[in-house]
Amino acid sequence: MPPYRIKLTSYPVITNEPDENMIIAASINSDGTLNLDRAVAAGGRGAHGIADGPDALFSQGAIKASAKGKVLATVNAGSNTVSLFSIDSKTPTNINQIGDVVSSEGEFPMSLAFNTDGSRLCVLNGGAVNGVICYTVDKKTGLTALPNSLRPLRLNQTTPATGPAGTASHIIFSEDGKQLIASVKGVPPTPGFLAVWDVKDDGSLSPDFKKIAPAKDGLLPFSMTVIPGKNAILATDAGLGFDIFDLKDNNKSSAIAIDGQIATCWSSFSKKTGNFYLTDIGTATVTEVHVDDNLKGSIVQQQYPQIPGSATIDNDIATVNGQDFLYVLAPNATAVDVLLLDAPGSAKKISTLDISGPTKAAGITINPNNLQGMTTFTP
């Protein structure tokens, strides 16, 4: 039977162009492969941090979908704004802006996080005015800033941000939703840290953050992925490989090297295999990692090589007909790689979606250095 489209959507990228930011939406077929469907104006402008090459925002989570909330949000780093969209469950590539774009209340917004039910959204700003702010999500009126949720990081930064070292990276909620966490890369030899705010029942944040340093040898914490059931986080570390943060007892945290890595910066978790998948922009490879019940991390399979020089960055995982698939943005190839995660230690690349051809034909500007983001939606 040939593949057929199902009610899943991957939003591979934001174009993040300085003239106009666009969302590129693709449907997921029954076999996990992708079809480009449409491009939608994001409601603002993109920006590129002060550095060369891809990974313009130095971040993970520039665009995020909430399955329970049936909403999608994106940053507009050049406009210092955030946009919210509804997702049509019957045709998930049909997204429509809700309300007006809102100020990020800072500069160079770079990462977003929904809470579990999609009723709140928090944003990480990484420019000269940096920190976090949270909003309520209303499906009719859009985003409204939550009182007592605007909190500074007090980083010595510029707008656009100068990096990658010394920049903010990613924002997530803890598994129980009681903490909001932002990662900050270090400036060698000074290590970075996680900034952790307590989240109150009304969505407001504690006045200041708790600063958690990585374990010995940890340096540049980047993306963060929750380790299920452990009150702990796996953070990629561009200076080493990856860090494990035990949020209950930081003495149990660890830093693990990936031999030959150049800049391991993005990560996702597969429920199917129980493992984490990390991408390295420098080596264009995917590394599979397992974390056991004692929070000991180990490398299951170090290298699933992708197109050489393709600069693999943002990734996300979707479950399709009981199978997990990893979607990896490869900006230097202007493509999305699709890997089947059939079992632990056996990821297999099954297809590559070309972005440049169809978007060029549609008159949409694509610059590989600006492409960013990856999120999937499961109704």
Q: What is the pLDDT of residue 281?
A: 98
3-class SS letters over the chain: CCCCEEEEEEEEEECCCCCCCEEEEEEEECCCCEEEEEEEECCCCCCCCECCCCCCCCCCCCEEEECCCCEEEEEECCCCEEEEEEECCCCCCCEEECCCCEECCCCCEEEEEECCCCCEEEEEEECCCEEEEEEEEECCCEEEECCCCCEECCCCCCCCCECCCCCEEEEEECCCCCEEEEEECCECCECCEEEEEEECCCCCECCCCEEECCCCCCCCEEEEEEECCCCEEEEEECCCEEEEEECCCHHHCEEEECCCCCCEEEEEECCCCCCEEEEECCCCEEEEEEECCCCCEEEEEEEEECCCCCCCCCEEEEEECCEEEEEEEEHHHCEEEEEEECCCCCEEEEEEEECHHHHHHCCCCCCCCCCECCEEECC
Read off the pLDDT band of 1 (50, 70, 90). Answer: very low
Backbone angles phi, psi at 126, to 5 degrees: -125, 10
- Furthest C-alpha separation in the chain: 57
Mean pLDDT of 15-24: 97
Query: Which positions ≥6 away from 363 have C-beta within 8 Å?
Result: none
Read off the pLDDT band of 303 (50, 70, 90). Answer: confident
Mean pLDDT of 185-189: 96
- pLDDT of 3 higher than 70: no
pLDDT digits (tens, 9 = 90+) for 47-95: 999 999 999 999 999 999 999 999 999 999 999 999 999 999 888 999 9
pLDDT digits (tens, 9 = 90+) for 82-97: 999 999 988 899 999 9
pLDDT digits (tens, 9 = 90+) for 224-258: 999 999 999 999 999 999 999 999 999 999 999 99
pLDDT digits (tens, 9 = 90+) for 157-184: 999 999 999 999 999 999 999 999 999 9
